[in-house]
Structure 1
Amino acid sequence: MSAHLVSAYLVACRYALLAMAKNRLAAVLLIAFIPMWITVAKTLTTPKTFPFRLRATGTWLRAGGDEITMISGSLNAVSLLVGFLMFSAARRTRAFDRRLTAAGYPRTALIGAKLTTLLVASVLVSTYATAWMLLFWSPLQPFLLGIAVLAVCLVYGAMGMCLALFLPGEVEGLVTIIMISIIDLAPQNPVASTTADKTLVELLPSYGSLQTSLAAGFTRNATLSPLLHSTAWLTAMTATALAAFALHTRTHQPPAPHHDG
């Protein structure tokens, strides 16, 4: 990798991270929405113990309804936040990215900066949300729980980047992400839904994270296989977003002059 490309990547990263840090709505949601959602889910949901089958392993577990709901609610909160944050960041820089690439700025550096921003945002939000859960609850595998939350952040962050290239405004993006998250997580909650044990839930974006979170909370087995579903979703969303970005920033070279004779 050339020094010029590294320098361009570092500059793009700095501006992308600064732009993300200036998103006041996302900051408010991070500071207030995640703790509020986790607190409400833990304190207002029944602590009655429910039996449920962990689809990833086929084993039956028992857990408090408040703890299961807190896990589901946390995944819902972080998916909304990171999805909207990456959607907003990608939409706001869309025109500027096109001008930069038209002026000769390396697209590879811009793509690298976007992926770095996705990783930084996901690590920050997942760490914060996991820390809040640990204030209320002692899962059997806290590190695995954090990995599961990070996975859903990455999936929805990549989804936000993808949607930003197709939807016109932040309202449309936010509503779309909210609806996807509801359709995704509501049928998977073993307390609130009778469809949590259906085969089709395996196709949903947060399936891997929820199954891994439940395993981390209530078993001592390092159940990592569900994260393959998260990896597949992350790969598909990221590839689509980057392909659309490359197409959107493609520069058209003027045709070569034609000389007669």
Structure 2
Amino acid sequence: MSAYLVACRYALLALAKNRLAAVLLVAFIPMWITVAKTLTTPETFPFRLRATGTWLRAGGDEITMISGSLNAVSLLVGFLMFSAARRTRAFDRRLTAAGYPRTALVGAKLTALLAASLLVSAYATAWMLLFWSPLQPLLLGVAVLADCLVYGAMGMCLALFLPGEVEGLVTIIMVSIIDLAPQNPVASTTADKALVELLPSYGSLQTSLAAGFTRQATLSPLLTHSMVWLTVMTVTALAAFALRNRTHQPSARPHDDG
């Protein structure tokens, strides 16, 4: 337990030292939500909630604010976890080579992912509540948290394969754009296509829309889509981490009796 607590302390410190992420958290998320709410038309749009098949009507500004919030938190948490995992990569190798338990390091990384996701999702949800009163605010927060976890795990995964922070940031930006742009019912005509169910933020966006404009507790998109993405990204990242930080035991040579 002590090894896990020490590893957690260093993992959380690595997150806290990322000044760019702190600036983005304080400034980027409020700015994005404010712009989406104030500059998008409040005209009511009909759209079909694909997860339930129900037709809903909602203001374009509110729909865009939800989509923009998910875009903002996915970029922030994805980059934050990518940067932290990349900066501690060499240190992790030295620790495991010295005999530090890998299970403690893995547990610390999962704890850091959860802590970062909780902080960012709570902050983004609070800002949305300043502009808008969704019918199910708690469910909205859960949906935003799920998106943070998915992209945080994705950032950890990318950190093991991409060489630098620029490559990681660009990749996360492009994935987030390709992910959320086709799903916005206001801006895209493809939001009701079957292929959107394969995108990482599908579960979070569908649940967020349900939380905002219905009283139905729609959890199936999170359980059947977000959980799959989170599991795949997390298992891939942790498996790659374990393989790259294997400790090689010297083979015992047979004694020469002669």
TM-score, structure 1 length as denominator? 0.97
**Judging changes above 3 Å, is the alpha-carbon distance between structure 1 residues 260 and 173 closer, same or farther for their aligned structure 2 residues?**
farther
Q: Deviations over 1:117-172 (max 9, x none)?
A: 00000000000000000000000000000000000000000000000000010000
The separation in 2 between residues aligned to 1:238 and 1:258, in whole angstroms, is 44
SS in 2 for 1:50: strand
The separation in 2 between residues aligned to 1:251 and 1:258, in whole angstroms, is 24
Give the deviation of 1:260 after TM superposition. 6.8
Q: Deviations over 1:87-119 (max 9, x none)?
A: 000000001000100000000000000000000
**Judging changes above 3 Å, is the alpha-carbon distance between structure 1 residues 259 and 68 closer, same or farther for their aligned structure 2 residues?**
farther
| Percent identity over paired residues | 91
Structure 2 stretches lacking a partner, 5+ long: none
Give the deviation of 1:258 after TM superposition. 6.3
**Judging changes above 3 Å, is the alpha-carbon distance between structure 1 residues 173 and 260 closer, same or farther for their aligned structure 2 residues?**
farther
Equivalence for 2:24: 29
The separation in 2 between residues aligned to 1:259 and 1:234, in whole angstroms, is 53
The separation in 1 between residues aligned to 2:178 and 2:243, in whole angstroms, is 30
**Judging changes above 3 Å, is the alpha-carbon distance between structure 1 residues 253 and 60 closer, same or farther for their aligned structure 2 residues?**
same
**Judging changes above 3 Å, is the alpha-carbon distance between structure 1 residues 174 and 258 closer, same or farther for their aligned structure 2 residues?**
farther
The separation in 1 between residues aligned to 2:120 and 2:187, in whole angstroms, is 25
Give the deviation of 1:252 after TM superposition. 1.9
Give the deviation of 1:19 after TM superposition. 1.4
SS in 1 for 2:220: coil
Give the deviation of 1:253 after TM superposition. 2.1
Q: Deviations over 1:199-224 (max 9, x none)?
A: 00001000000000000000000000
SS in 2 for 1:25: helix
2:251 to 226, 243, 255: 255
SS in 1 for 2:206: helix
**Judging changes above 3 Å, is the alpha-carbon distance between structure 1 residues 155 and 134 closer, same or farther for their aligned structure 2 residues?**
same
SS in 1 for 2:153: helix
TM-score, structure 2 length as denominator? 0.98
2:125 to 125, 130, 134: 130
1:155 to 130, 150, 153: 150
Give the deviation of 1:18 after TM superposition. 1.1
SS in 2 for 1:226: helix
SS in 2 for 1:51: strand
Count of equivalent residues: 256
Structure 1 stretches lacking a partner, 5+ long: 1-5
Q: Deviations over 1:20-78 (max 9, x none)?
A: 11110000000000000000000000000000000000000000000000000000000
Runs of 4+ residues deviating >6 angstroms? none
Map 1:191-210; keep pairs closer than 5 Å: 191-210=186-205
Give the deviation of 1:255 after TM superposition. 2.7
Q: Does 1:190 align with 2:185?
A: yes
**Judging changes above 3 Å, is the alpha-carbon distance between structure 1 residues 15 and 215 closer, same or farther for their aligned structure 2 residues?**
same
The separation in 1 between residues aligned to 2:21 and 2:74, in whole angstroms, is 12
Alignment RMSD (CA, Å): 0.9
Q: Deviations over 1:155-194 (max 9, x none)?
A: 0000000000000100000000000000000000000001
Give the deviation of 1:259 after TM superposition. 3.8
Equivalence for 2:4: 9
Give the deviation of 1:251 after TM superposition. 1.8
Equivalence for 1:234: 230
**Judging changes above 3 Å, is the alpha-carbon distance between structure 1 residues 254 and 38 closer, same or farther for their aligned structure 2 residues?**
same
